[in-house]
Amino acid sequence: MDIQKEIDKLRSEIERHNRAYYDLSSPTISDFEYDALMRRLIELEEKYPEYSSPDSPTQRVGGSVQPQFAPVRHIVSLESLNDVFSYEELDSFISRTNEVIGDSSEYVVEPKVDGLSVAVEYENGRIIRGATRGDGLVGEDVTENLLTIRSLPKKLKNAPPRLVVRGEVYMSRETFLKLNEEREISGEKPFANPRNAASGSLRQLDSRITAKRELDIIVFNIQYAEGREFKTHAETLDALSEMGFTAVPYKLCRTAEECRSHVSWLGENREGLPYEIDGAVIKVNNLADRSLLGSTSKAPRWAAAYKYPPEKKETIVEDIIVQVGRTGALTPKAVLKPIRLAGTTVTNATLHNQDNIDRLDIRIGDTAIVRKAGEIIPEVIEVVYGKRPPEAVPFKFPETCPECGAPVVRDEDGAVIRCTGAECPAQLLRNIAHFASRGAMDIDGLGISVAQALIESGLISSPADLYYLDAQSVASLERMGVKSAEKLLSSIEKSKENGLARLLCAFGIRQVGQKAAKVLASHYSNLDELCKATEEELTSIPDIGHITAKYLVNWLNSPQSKHQIELLRRAGVSFESKEAILDSRFAGKTFVLTGTLRSFTRDEAETLIERYGGKTSGSVSKKTSYVVAGDEAGSKLVKAQELGIPVLSEEEFKEMIK
């Protein structure tokens, strides 16, 4: 390949990954793969200096300032670090440094916390501002979000008049696993690792969301201290601790051998740390020596980050088991002969799905290569086929759920196999949370924590059991009480009259969300009529496709679903439709609602339009028939006027539905 073309391609690819990693908190490749791309680019730029450019990602920090945050110019730039990937490279760094400052130099070795770098500013001991690193010179103002972090002191002891510190915001492993479990239950995409979770949580526009994420911070540098002088970096870390910060732990080392030894120790003992680390940082301790060494345009010459390579080891696959997740997804897992990997004992590894098993052709008894490259969950990446025992046979997924015995089906994209059981115990928490959610049965007060308590106490084992609860049993739950129990039961009772559309949505049938549920409820007067429908009949309804029809018919006719429906019937839950079309006066018409209506909620107005055969849309276009404008109508009203679309007042709309 032409050198210029390869360099341009690498720069473009790295910039794309920088945006995904720094700005979107959603990386598409591993740190190891990213580092390999960056190292190749550095190698080419050093070998062919005629192609160097100040715009290259090797010359600047990868992040940027997003428009939703106010920019903050850092008093002292927040530099990046040059990486080393072997002890030979670490020795070279120390040798180069010692040539300038002398062999008697001292180094500080710290864990490299894998989080989001921030600068926090204090005046007279009180916090006044906090910002992300951004591009190193200008960051994003996240002060309100930083204030939600309990481990960040808001008032300091014996602090200088003006102080700027640099730290790493992180999410503990325990908090990370809990957050991903909650996201899985609510149908959200889980975070890839704690670093992405911390970054996404700190860069929220609503600080209440950040507060719920339970972030932490560890401080590792004094950027600026008015009126205070320090001789060494170790002194600054000790001073930070005295002021009230959680300062990064460190070890003083005098030789390359001592540095290597502590880097190795950190790698072996990383599992005992409260945060994820992806390496160790080696810094010159004497601050005067740092000034002598200086910095490049991107990184200091007095520090280096040793990046731990992704560890891979061989072990025996003793069994392959299939677990059922909160959303019904069946996930295969390899049970391994225990090995020590990345500072922890590994006994299990994910196999992802059936397609991955087929690709690897992994079997019970195989010798497999397992990797844990800074991620929480180890994975099998390769099989040593030459060591396969003769009795090993291909592994196939079960055709029924290992938890409840219901049939399993592949998702429409073919990647995930799911349980179809309405009463599957593995899915119970997720099913209860979805059943009670706002778009479904809208049971106020029944969040994930309350649902978990009801399940753990044995009071419910299915959504239908909610309608058989009694106040005394609910009140006995921890942190509940009589008033809260009565309020919850009142909300459950009220939900009985929600009607067919909400009930269908609450069932959690694949591809039957709020929109499809409303469409179905407009064509069937009650649930019993819908249960008699065939796939062919359902696909004749606009907006109901073959896949949706198949999922619906299979769910309604399964034994577990029929049992749920019968329990709901006995409890008095309404199966009647509130969306059945009354007449077709709005047939072929599309309405857009804007502003605040005094006589209806937005949902009520949309339901009325649909019951008269019309449709609603969230945006104004040439296809819009009417815009209904309530109080404080905004841009949609302006656009309707520009396009000449009829605008109805609330009173005019009420006249149309009389």
For the annotated catalytic residues, the residue numbers are 112
Please tell me the distance from the alpha carbon of residue 125 to that of residue 499, in angstroms, as a whole number: 58
Hunting for tokens 């009949």 — which residue is that? Answer: 537
Please tell me the distance from the alpha carbon of residue 560 to that of residue 403, in angstroms, as a whole number: 13
DSSP state for residue 301 in the 8-state scheme? T
Please tell me the distance from the alpha carbon of residue 284 to that of residue 232, in angstroms, as a whole number: 9
Tokens of 505: 């949505």
Q: How many CA atoms lie within 13 A of 283 on its CB side?
A: 28
Residue closest to 341 by CA, chosen among 259, 434, 270, 410: 270
DSSP state for residue 49 in the 8-state scheme? G
- CA distances, 549 to each of 411, 509, 530, 537, 560 (Å): 14, 10, 11, 9, 19
Sequence-distant (6+) residues with CB within 8 A of 362 are: 317, 320, 334, 351, 368, 380, 383, 395
Alpha-helix runs per DSSP H in 384-467: 428-436, 448-456
What phi-psi label fits residue 125: left (phi over 0), alpha (psi between -120 and 50 degrees) or beta? left
**Residue 442: strand pairing partners:** none
Tokens of 416: 């995930």
Task: Report long-range pairs for 227-235 (Cβ below 8 Å, ≥24 apart).
Answer: 227/160, 227/161, 228/160, 230/287, 231/286, 231/287, 231/288, 232/106, 232/285, 232/286, 232/287, 233/108, 233/283, 233/284, 233/285, 233/286, 233/287, 233/290, 234/108, 234/285
Residue closest to 180 by CA, chosen among 172, 188, 171: 188
Sequence-distant (6+) residues with CB within 8 A of 486 are: 471, 475
Residue closest to 446 by CA, chosen among 384, 413, 486, 488: 488
Hunting for tokens 């690897």 — which residue is that? Answer: 360
Please tell me the distance from the alpha carbon of residue 466 to that of residue 484, in angstroms, as a whole number: 15
Helix (H, G, I), strand (E, B) or coil at 71: strand
Residue 595 φ then ψ, to 5° = 80, -170
Q: How many CA atoms lie within 13 A of 359 on its CB side?
A: 10
Residue closest to 282 by CA, chosen among 106, 461, 121: 106
Tokens of 626: 């009417």
